[in-house]
Amino acid sequence: MSSPTPPALSAETLAALRADFPILNQEIRPGVPLTYLDNGATSQKPAAVIDAMSHYYEHMNANVHRGVHAFAERATAAYEGARQKVADLIGAGDAQEIIYVRNTTEAINLVARTWGDATLHTGDVVISTEMEHHANIVPWQMMAERTGVTVKYIPITETGLLDMGEYRKLLAEGNVKLVAVAHVSNVLGTINPVKEIIKLAHEAGALALIDGAQSVPGMPVNVRDLDADFYAFSAHKMLGPTGIGVLYGKYDLLEKMPPYNGGGSMISKVTLTGTKYAHAPQKFEAGTPAIAEAVGLGAAVDYLTKIGLANVIEHEKALISYAMERLSEVIGLTTYGPSVEERSGLVSFTLKGVHAHDLAQGLDAAGVAVRAGHHCAMPLHDKLGVAATLRASFYVYNTMEEVDTLINAIESTRRYFA
């Protein structure tokens, strides 16, 4: 057995950090502690996030941007304060570039429905990739049905990287108006060279949308440094609550885009003959928003900022290096995706002779929570030639011992099916 790389967070720091997550300290079944390795699907929430949401409901619950009473003002300040925290986290120029949505999926659909429908026509091209989550494929296919655009895909290489030569060729074919790419693949873990991808898109006269669902939770991201036109992510994968996500957009683009939903809050004037819309971000936030969730997201940003996202990625790197090493020792196990250097803290794999769902059940018996299936990336699984994989995804509170627990559970399931 190999010895683990020293983790980036000290044992004391990690123990203190784990104590912040009430859910982690429990047994799944009597005598079986929880080993939560399904962070790519959703992360656990620290007490600071849960408490911030409870505090909001207990001490200031009111609608935002409407009343003039004290609670309404406090709620609005908390809601808008969280927007500023998000803007600071991702290096946005202005909090007005942060639109609250339900999740990454809605953020991408918003761009397709508003910017896409208003701007694109038959003959225009949108480039996505073979490694995308369905959230960054289906909205463009639906938009293609409405507008007549063509969707093309950057292929992946044998090692699970984007084929940049093919990308250049697709751009050279012309008429590309948008490049929509994941920053980090939720199956391969590949960290894509999005800065270069965006630069090339801009040189070809196209905009770039980055799906940051798997990147913002685990690494420093600066949208201005990347020069992203749109950047989408979900709170629930970054220690925050479900029900809220973010679309970042450059302000001049947002101002030119038509609204998404119509209704209260997104207007500046309504008459019976027509409506004048509010400026971004309100223009895209019709109706009563997810206020407590925004407060929870703000608390999650505070929590992550305190740890430092550079430390989060270092910690994940240590875990994934050790996990990849240990997985390579398991007979009949195949991992998918690039080397540790080009990968985030997740790994998908198959075990010869054992279906991914059976393996996941074997792991569950040992208290190890992982995801099995196509991970909402069917075209990628088609490309890999497998119907399903099993994915272990690590986060800041995971330990080297939990990697050992994973490996032991895989080994005993393998022996059971042998």
Catalytic residue set: 376
Question: Strand order of the sheet with strand 230-234?
Answer: 98-101, 245-249, 230-234, 207-211, 176-182, 125-129, 150-154
Query: Looking at 34, 41, 50, 365, which residue binds ligand C6P (CB under 6 A)?
Result: 41
Q: Which of 76, 105 has the CB closer to ligand C6P?
A: 105
Nearest to 211 by CA among 187, 182, 185: 182
CA angle 55, 57, 60 (to 5 degrees): 85
Q: Which of 97, 211 has the CB closer to ligand C6P?
A: 211
End-to-end Cα distance, the chain: 21
Query: Considering the rule CB under 6 A, would residue 211 count as an interface residue with ligand C6P?
Result: yes
CB of 246 to ligand C6P, least distance (A): 11
φ/ψ of 257, rounded to 5, equals -80, 145
CA angle 296, 301, 306 (to 5 degrees): 125
Site pattern 21..40 for ligand C6P (x: CB under 6 A): -------------------x
Q: Are 219 and 253 in contact (CB under 8 A)?
A: no
Q: Which of 4, 218 has the CB closer to ligand C6P?
A: 218
Query: Considering the rule CB under 6 A, would residue 208 count as an interface residue with ligand C6P?
Result: no
Residue with tokens 């509170």: 397
135-164: contacts with ligand C6P (CB under 6 A)? 135-136
Q: Which of 135, 295 has the CB closer to ligand C6P?
A: 135
Query: Considering the rule CB under 6 A, would residue 186 count as an interface residue with ligand C6P?
Result: yes
> Letter for the amino acid at 24?
L
Query: Considering the rule CB under 6 A, would residue 133 count as an interface residue with ligand C6P?
Result: yes
Q: Which stretch binds ligand C6P (CB under 6 A): 129-137, 295-303, 337-345, 401-409?
A: 129-137
Distance CA 87, CA 84 (A): 5
Q: Which stretch binds ligand C6P (CB under 6 A): 137-145, 210-218, 308-316, 329-337?
A: 210-218
Dihedral angle of Cα 165, 168, 170, 172, to the nearest 10 degrees:
-140
67-106: contacts with ligand C6P (CB under 6 A)? 103-105
Q: Which residues bind ligand C6P (CB under 6 A)?
A: 40-41, 103-105, 133, 135-136, 182, 186, 211, 213-214, 234, 371, 375-376
